[in-house]
Amino acid sequence: MKKIELEIVALSHSITQTHSYAVVLGEVNGLRRLPIVIGGFEAQAIAVALERMQPSRPLTHDLMKNFMLAFNVDLHEIVINDLQEGIFYSKLLCSSDNDTVEIDSRTSDALALAVRFGCPIYTYEHILESAGILMEDDEEKKTKEEVTVTGGNEGNADLKTLSIEELQALLNEVLEQEDYMRAIAIRDELSNRKK
């Protein structure tokens, strides 16, 4: 089967499930999108890597990457290879000096590792056919090469009422608490004010 390359185009609160997030994968050089519902911790792990944040302590996926690198294991690609009853299944294609293996993985964990290793993400046509969404061409232009990471809209309105000094203090506080999704929203508000 021919593999279709995907890229992360958005990460936001899920509109279908409370306390969940959706990572949206877009077909490279195509108009289809593949939304996948993931948990909050996994969304945070992906957001931290996308935003190139440096947590004070390594997150689980950082630990996994460090472990793999320490033993000369490289992650070449991830493949979202199955969809059963609304659950996506993925494989990691890894190699060491003497072997190449496929390792079963939750899709959210595979995506968090793919972002850290900078490796490609693939799926198959039958998965895009059954779970993908076709975007209109003008919507595609708006999101092309633009990754949106949001912590949801709740709480963002109150950020607009804070001064730059208060925002900076709040940013430091949430970073200490390792609330990286909230930190991204605060950082974005600070960036908007500087424009």
* Torsion of Cα atoms, 31 then 32 then 37 then 38, to 10°: -70
Which residues are CB-contacts of 152 (< 8 A; sequence separation ≥ 6)? Answer: 12, 13
| pLDDT for the residue 182 | 72
Q: Which two tokens stand for residue 97?
A: 């000096």
H or E element in which residue 157 lies: helix 156-159
Per-residue confidence in pLDDT tens, the chain, 195 aa: 899 999 999 888 766 666 688 899 999 999 999 999 998 889 889 988 988 888 888 889 999 999 999 999 999 999 999 999 989 999 999 999 999 999 999 999 999 999 999 999 999 999 999 898 887 765 544 444 444 454 444 455 578 888 888 888 887 787 777 676 677 777 777 777 876
Residue appearing with tokens 């970073």: 175
| pLDDT for the residue 134 | 85
| pLDDT for the residue 146 | 45
| pLDDT for the residue 157 | 56
The separation between CA 53 and the C-alpha centre of its own chain, rounded to angstroms, equals 13
Q: Which two tokens stand for residue 159?
A: 């950020």
Q: Is 92 left (phi over 0), alpha (psi -120 to 50) or beta?
A: beta
Residue boundaries of the structural domains of the chain:
3-149, 153-195
| pLDDT for the residue 112 | 96
Which residues are CB-contacts of 70 (< 8 A; sequence separation ≥ 6)? Answer: none
How far apart, in whole angstroms, are the C-alpha atoms of residue 149 and residue 8?
10
How far apart, in whole angstroms, are the C-alpha atoms of residue 141 and residue 107?
27
| pLDDT for the residue 137 | 63
Q: What does pTM read for this prediction? A: 0.74
| pLDDT for the residue 151 | 46
Residue appearing with tokens 């693939």: 122
Facing residues of 38 across strands?
Answer: 21
**φ, ψ (nearest 5 deg) of residue 106:** -65, 145
| pLDDT for the residue 170 | 83
Give CATH for domain 3-149.
3.10.690.10
